[in-house]
Amino acid sequence: MFLGLVAIYYLFRFDYWERDIIIRSDGYAYYGYVQGTLVHHDPLNTFHGELEGKDRNRSWMHEGLPGKYLPKMTMAIAYAWTPGFFLADLVASLLDYPQDGWSRPYQLAVGFSAVLFLLIGLWATWHVLRRRFSDTISSAVVMVIYLVTNLLQYGSVDASMSHVYSFALIACFMLVSDRWVERRSLSHLLAAAFLLGWIVLIRPTNIIVGLYLPFMLWQRDGNIRSLLSWQILYAAGAAFLPILPQLIFWKLAAGEWVHYSYEQEAFYWMSPHIWEGLFSYRNGWLVYTPVMWLALLGLAFYSRIEKRLALGLGVVTLLHIYITFSWWCWYYGGSLSIRPMIDIYPILALGMAAMFSFIWRRGMVPTLIAAVVVLSLGWNNILQVKYSNLGVIHDSAMTKEAFWATFMTPKQPGHLSMAGYYRDPDTDHLRLGLPERLEYDTAYSQMVGKIEYQRIGMDQVRRFTNMLKVNASELPLNVDSLIQITCEVKMNDVDANELIAIVAFKKGEETYQYQGADLGKILNDAGVRKTVKLFVRKPRNLPEGTHMECYYWLKGKGSAEAYSMEITPIKVTRRPL
């Protein structure tokens, strides 16, 4: 109950539901099946060719056979969203919302579907643990897996990503597999096979979790002969059921039974980025989710409980790490920590439980120390989720400086991307499997806007300056372009003033991006007129008529002075070392 309330709180914690953007990023591709089949009644998405602007961009489709379009992802998550869609459609008709699949009832239906799967996954994980550990250990692990890892973000805030669904299905697969090994019931074997088929449809590389069942059988029987029977034919059919509709769709839309929809994106098996994926400041899993050290080390302790299964857990974990970091985008852009690692958290939960059990048996002092460490990491995880959704933690370009500026820091340290703390990845080279180029040159474009304040004062009465406003269409939009905001200010007390430079992209009353840089975090000298350069990117998918607005806000105490603000696009070009 408690974790369910936390999940619902985080679903509404940020303003995505108010802006009707719970469905975003990868969610656009998964939602394409719902949009095409249930909204437009056009399963082959011929309507996509007629879409324009925002509607076309969020469909995330490419053309297969002439006039037929395919989402980048599979239809696996659409299975989970379909019941909520029909409920949302009823609510939309009753409350007079647009029945377009995108209005608030549909967005919330996706959000609550994620919460439901989260709770199912945590419930199943608890039961898998409870078969081997005490109630106390099992409950503690489930709490930590949710509250002290990036599952807190992807369990409800990023409700349209696939990871919470994979987490839930893998946990259920493990639980049903355990029950089949105990009872040898055909119904449990068929359920396990069906779940594995669904897991594979979401992310084909997750087929490796299927190793759990034979290793569990080997642990119990000392062999896997029970799988070599006529029942395995029925199991194969059950696993094929959730995959079959996808194959039919690909055949009709692309002309082939199996279609690679990621186009120019690929795995590079001979040059995986395992070290960077685990330890880099750019989303490194064990840097941003350090509590999972306990789970990894705990797999060694788990061998004392079920030696053969522990071997299987280790094999699955190592394979998953290798596969995950062989993907060209090893840092998984748009991510808080390495999000695909969430998929195998039910497996790693067994290692964590073994570690907790080992510490518990050592006595009160080690247990208290471990509790303090885990609680501290939980506090930092809550801060990370907050900062990630406020834009302070960047989703793909964090640096050492940016990480330590936010680590265990309850006061938001300005907007780090605007303070120049970020370093964007070299996606052009990474897509080709090549090393990144790390040095940058910049070329300035012509200034597009400037406002002179002639020493305008800000105090407790006048907290805002006049606004510098430019048309967003004048600003560049590509991976190698930034917008430089040059601020000239004087702060009378850098500790108390809290002078914020605000940058917003708006059309009318609609805000598409809002960022603030605390200049007090950048300036060190009080009473001195200084110039500061900040950097932002133009958001994607802005409608025509959007403006970029810049101004100063004296949020804190005392007084400050502003002299000017100007906007200049710059071009960033990479060159080899």
What span, in angstroms and rounded, lies between the C-alpha atoms of 103 and 111? Answer: 13
Tell whether the model's pLDDT for residue 478 goes beyond 90: no
Six-digit token pair at 190?
Answer: 């068929």
Q: How far apart are CA 435 and CA 426, in angstroms?
A: 9
pTM across the whole model: 0.88
Range 144-162 average pLDDT: 96
What is the three-class DSSP state of 566?
strand
Share of the chain above pLDDT 70, in %: 96
- Say how far apart CA 198 and CA 173 lie, in whole Å: 10
**Residue 126 near residue 139, CB atoms below 8 Å:** yes
What is the Cα–Cα distance from 249 to 255, expressed in whole angstroms? 9
Q: Who wins on pLDDT, 242 or 576?
A: 242
574 with 479: CB under 8 angstroms? no
Q: Is 513 helix (H, G, I), strand (E, B) or coil?
A: strand
CB-based contact 515:504 (threshold 8 Å): yes
- Alpha-carbon distance of 266 to 173, in angstroms, equals 28
Contacts of 141 (CB under 8 A, 6+ apart): 125, 129, 133, 349, 352, 353, 356
CA-derived radius of gyration, the chain: 26
Per-residue pLDDT at 453 exceeds 90: no
Tens-digit pLDDT profile for residues 262-315? 888 999 999 999 999 999 999 999 999 999 999 999 999 999 999 999 999 999
Mean pLDDT of 12-29: 88
List the alpha helices (DSSP H) in 255-342: 274-279, 285-288, 292-302, 307-324
Residue 6, H or E segment: helix 2-13
What gap in Å lies between CA 554 and CA 496, rounded to an integer? 10
- pLDDT (0 to 100) of residue 494: 67
Q: Which whole number is the average pLDDT over 65-85?
A: 94
Q: How far apart are CA 319 and CA 81, in angstroms?
A: 30
Strand partners, 565: 451, 487
167-212: per-residue pLDDT in tens? 999 999 999 999 999 999 999 999 999 999 999 999 999 999 999 9
The mean pLDDT value for 47-61 works out to 79
The two structure tokens encoding residue 129: 């643990």
Helix residue spans in 331-453 (DSSP H): 345-362, 364-390, 400-406, 427-430
302, 354 contact by CB (below 8 A)? yes
Q: What is the mean pLDDT of the chain?
A: 90
The token pair at 441 is 């040159």
d(CA 286, CA 296): 10
Contacts of 163 (CB under 8 A, 6+ apart): 151, 154, 339, 340, 342, 343
- How much is the pLDDT for 541? 75
Backbone angles phi, psi at 525, to 5 degrees: -105, 130
The stretch 316-332 carries a mean pLDDT of 97
The reported pLDDT for the residue numbered 521 is 73
The pLDDT value recorded for residue 475 is 86
Element (H, E) at 550: strand 547-554
Between the alpha carbon of residue 314 and those of residues 215, 227, 340, the distances in Å are 11, 22, 17
The reported pLDDT for the residue numbered 532 is 86
User: Measured between alpha carbons, how far is 283 from 276 in angstroms, rounded to an integer?
Assistant: 9
Contacts of 244 (CB under 8 A, 6+ apart): none
Q: How confident is the model at residue 164 (pLDDT cuts 50, 70, 90)?
A: very high
Written as one letter, the residue type at 573 is T
Where do the domains of the chain lie, and which CATH numbers do they carry? 2-222+233-259+268-373 (no CATH), 439-575 (2.60.120)
Nearest CA among 272, 280, 205 for reference residue 433: 272
Percentage of the residues of the chain whose pLDDT score is greater than 90: 61
Write down the residue that tokens 């499997």 correspond to: 433
pLDDT for 248 equals: 96
pLDDT of residue 439: 60
More confident residue, 518 or 98: 98
> How far is the C-alpha of 23 from the C-alpha of 256, rounded, in Å?
29
Give 573's pLDDT tier (boundaries 50, 70, 90).
low
pLDDT band at 577 (very low <50, low <70, confident <90, very high): very low
59 pLDDT above the threshold of 60:
yes
Partners of 552 in beta bridges: 501
387-444 tens-digit pLDDT: 998 888 888 888 898 899 899 988 777 777 777 788 778 888 888 888 887 665 666 6
Which two three-digit tokens encode residue 312? Answer: 């299987």
- Tokens standing for 419? 């303070």
Name the nearest CA neighbour of 212 among 142, 139, 128: 128
**Can you give the pLDDT at residue 438?**
66
* Burial environment of residue 124 by CB neighbours within 10 A (0 to 12, 13 to 18, 19 or more): buried
Give the pLDDT score at 282: 93
Contact predicate 101/79, CB 8 Å: no
- Phi and psi angles of residue 553, each rounded to the nearest 5 degrees, phi first: -135, 115
Q: Is the pLDDT of residue 221 over 70?
A: yes
> How many angstroms separate the CA atoms of 503 and 497, rounded?
19
HSE-CB at 204 with a 13 A cutoff on CA atoms is 12
